[in-house]
Structure 1
Amino acid sequence: MDRRKETGLSAPPDESDARSLISMQELEPSPVEEAPPDLKSGAYFPKREVDPSSEQGGFAGKFSFLSLGLSGHRWDYWLSTLQKYSTYPPTLFFVLHIANTSLIPLATRTVPASEPYLLLTRPIYQAPSLEHVVLTVPIITHVVSGITLRSIRGRRRARLYGAETRAQRYLLKSWPKPSVQARLGYALLPLLGVHVLVNRLVPLAVEGGSSGVGLGYVAHGFARSPAFWNLYYIVFVAAGVWHIVGGWATWMGWRVTTARHTRGESGSIHGGYLGYMESPEQTKRKNRMWRIVHGIAAVGTAIWLAGALGVVGRGGPGSGWEAKNWDALYRSVPVISGWL
């Protein structure tokens, strides 16, 4: 029998075992980073793999060429950008429109004296090439991007809490409660539709254009149905001015009309969440912002209605063949012609 086995000693390791033992003990020196990695750039954290079935991996992965190298932003960022900048051309139109339909009539005090100023600016915002660029396309873009944003955020919230069916999403109330700004926008859509129908679409269908539509045409409508048009323009102008002023206040960082809560949540916009309470200075600043924004909207609405209802609304009916043509146009309005 071997002497090592008799004494209970193990056999010496061979050369391969010795090399592996040395390699476990000796480590190659590595350089020490002189500066820590940049946390903001994400260099500290490893890149995560994107799931192809996820929102960004599935949609943005298939259509990655649409990003044009502008990475780092989600779809709601680009939709918010579209929603914001699509308001610029309509705002220019509304500035011209309030001048033509309110400020100038207030200065001249008569409809006939105000008509030439409306005719001067009409080619700017009623030309076939400019009207759709200034109004149609931006308004459609603004509405569609806003609805799409609400849908994306509602689905994201439902996915966060695991709501898969329609009933689960309804119980979760994943869509946030519409803000005052959103409600004004939704209310403004049918009102704006009636305005376009009566002043643009019907004259285009009956007479081939709206060259005969002006302040006299509007005054003739007031004379035909004063109750309907007075109520309509009060609601229309108030909703439009508040929506525009509140939107521009939001772009400037004054979130007054856009502050909202999730469904089922009570309290005002000044309340705190998870124990957070605003300081007296913050509350005072928000209250001041609230008064300024709503004050500007109220003054703008009052000025617009003063010219529209106080001067144009009292202009009286037309006469002669012009009044007959206007009567024919109002009778041709679908659905609501009986009220006009």
Structure 2
Amino acid sequence: MSELHEVAPEPVQMAVPGIPPSLPSSGTTHPYLMKSIDFLRTTQQYSVIPFSAFSALHVASVVVGPALFGPEVGNDMISVGRELYHVPLVELGILVSACVHVVSGIAVNLLRQYYNYVKYGKAKRKKNQNRTKLETAMKITRSPNDVEVRDIDEGLGGISSIVGAGSRPSITSRFLGLSPLAFSGYVLLVLLGGHVYYERVAPLLVDGDSSMIDMTYIAHGLQQKFWEAFTALNLLVATGCYHMLVGWNRYLRRFSLRARKNTYLTLGVLSALCCASLLRVRNLDVFAAAAHRFDIYLAQ
């Protein structure tokens, strides 16, 4: 008995036939990877604030104002806005804000793919990704408006989620491995790139400034190729509003059923206002000299 003494407990690992040894946690083997993802995610969230402020002002000028009060009011709002966001440093800040948001978002997605590869292995990567995206934690309380869906990869959960049928896994998550928010961001990147080129870059290349750009420029495009311009501009507004509204819901952690309903309502109202704005702007008279200049812009 005198030889017995207390020792510190130590874990014992024993190999069990048929069961592979557990893999080390990727969080401990790759701490810098997790820190990089967290840093890029935070950068992505905060970098978009200046561009969101500009977008809200721009939507008010070209969508809400013309639809409710007429194209002339829209032109006045564009003139006021131009004095604000065409200041060199302000315009540069908006551009940097958008670029940082896009680059950090792409980097986060790539690092997450690599993280899943390291954690699960090549054979199990796709299986575990799909399982993670489909896991939904729900908290049901007395009021149906308090139902929360914590799976941020579902976007708005589909129309079925607001009528009590439950949210559905998004098509983009199942087939592309992208959340609806990320997918809308990539689509918006293409649409917004074309919009910026024809609205800002092309006039700069031709005249050195974009002072001639107002509602008559949009009217000329609608009068020349109505369905192409009408569809592209509506798609730009709908995709941009969806991306910003869902992104802010995610940032503010607003996942309740009430928040989703309000987001759908806001998207519907803005889409309707966009259609009304374009239909009213189409009737503007465009002088021949301005139309000729606009044709040069569009030909760039």
Change in 2 beyond 3 A, CA 1:231/1:25? closer
Alignment partner of 1:293 out of 257, 263, 287: 263
Query: Which amino acid in 1 is paired with 2:283?
Result: R
**Shift of the alpha carbon at 1:26?**
12
How do 1:53-72 residues align onto structure 2 when only pairs under 5 Å count? Answer: 54-56=29-31
Residues of 2 paired with 1:305 and 1:91: CA distance? 22
Q: Partners of 2:4 and 2:75 in 1: how far apart?
A: 96
Letter in 2 for 1:118: I
Q: Which residue number corresponds to residue 118 of structure 1?
A: 78
Equivalent residue number for residue 327 of structure 1: 295
Bigger shift: residues 204-213 or 297-306:
297-306
How is 1:11-160 mapped onto 2 (pairs within 5 angstroms)?
54-56=29-31, 74-109=35-70, 111-112=71-72, 114-134=74-94, 136-160=95-119
What amino acid is aligned across from residue 322 of structure 1 in structure 2?
A
Shift in alpha-carbon separation, 1:180–1:226, aligned structure 2, 3 A: same
TM-fit CA distance, 1:301: 2.4
Equivalent in the alignment of 1:244:
244
Counterpart residue type for residue 55 of structure 1 = H
- Matched residue type, 2:75: E
Q: Is the 8 A contact 2:120 2:128 kept in 1?
A: no
Residue 293 of structure 1 and its aligned partner are, at CA, apart by 2.1
Q: Deviations over 1:182-223 (max 9, x none)?
A: 111111111001101111111111111111111111111111
Look up the match of 1:283.
none
Looking at structure 2, the residues matched to 199 and 291 of structure 1 have their Cα atoms a distance apart, in angstroms, of 33
Rounded Cα–Cα distance in structure 2 between residues aligned with 1:224 and 1:323? 10
Contact 1:241 1:297 in 2 (8 A): yes
Matches within 5 A, 1:165-180: 168=123, 177-180=177-180
**CA separation of 1:169/1:199 partners in 2, compared to 1, >3 Å: closer, same or farther?**
farther
Q: Distance in 1 between matches of 2:96 and 2:38?
A: 20
Q: Give, in whole Å, the separation in 2 of the partners of 1:114 and 1:79.
A: 37
Opposite residue 247 of structure 1, the aligned amino acid is G
Looking at structure 2, the residues matched to 95 and 117 of structure 1 have their Cα atoms a distance apart, in angstroms, of 12
- Give how far 1:303 is off: 2.4
| Pair 25,216 (structure 1): closer, same or farther in 2 beyond 3 Å | closer
Assess, with a 3 A threshold, how the Cα gap between structure 1 residues 143 and 25 changes in structure 2: closer, same or farther: closer
In structure 2, relative to structure 1, the CA distance for the partners of 1:180 and 1:113 (3 Å cut) is closer
More helix by share: 2
- Higher deviation after alignment, 79-88 or 115-124: 115-124
Please give the alpha-carbon distance, in whole angstroms, between the structure 2 residues aligned to 1:243 and 1:26.
65
Evaluate the alpha carbon distance shift between residue 235 and residue 107 of structure 1 in structure 2; reply closer, same or farther with a 3 A threshold.
Answer: closer
What are the equivalent positions in structure 2 for 1:218-257 lying under 5 Å apart?
218-255=218-255
> Once the 2 structures are TM-superposed, how far is the Cα of residue 152 of structure 1 from its aligned partner?
1.5
Shift of the 322–162 alpha-carbon distance from structure 1 to 2, 3 Å rule, reads closer
Asked if 1 retains the 8 angstrom alpha-carbon contact of 2:234 and 2:274, the reply is no
Does the aligned pair in 1 maintain the 2:66–2:72 contact within 8 Å?
Answer: no
8 Å CA contact retained: 2:199, 2:213: yes
**CA deviation map 1:236-266 (0-9, x unaligned):** 11111111111111111124xxxxxxxxxxx
Distance in 1 (CA, whole Å) between partners of 2:229 and 2:5 is 92
Report matched runs for 1:161-200 at 5 Å. Answer: 161-163=120-122, 168=123, 177-200=177-200
Q: Which sections of structure 1, spanning at least 5 residues, go unmatched?
A: 1-21, 28-50, 61-72, 256-285, 333-340
Partners of 1:206 and 1:329 within 8 A in 2:
yes
Which residue is 1:282 aligned to?
A: none
Q: Structure 1 length normalisation: TM-score? A: 0.62
Q: Are 1:312 and 2:268 matched, yes or no?
A: no
User: Would you say how many aligned residue pairs link Structure 1 and Structure 2?
Assistant: 235
Q: In the aligned structure 1, how far is the partner of 2:243 from the partner of 2:230?
A: 20
- Cα distance in 1, alignment partners of residues 5 and 232 from structure 2: 87
Paired residue type of 1:204? L
State the distance in 2 between where 1:325 and 1:195 align.
17
SS at match of 1:74: helix
**By how many angstroms is 1:54 displaced?**
4.8
Query: C-alpha distance in 1, partners of 2:282/2:258?
Result: 35
Residue 158 of structure 1 contacts residue 172 of structure 1 at CA under 8 Å; is this kept in 2? no
> CA RMSD, aligned part only?
2.9
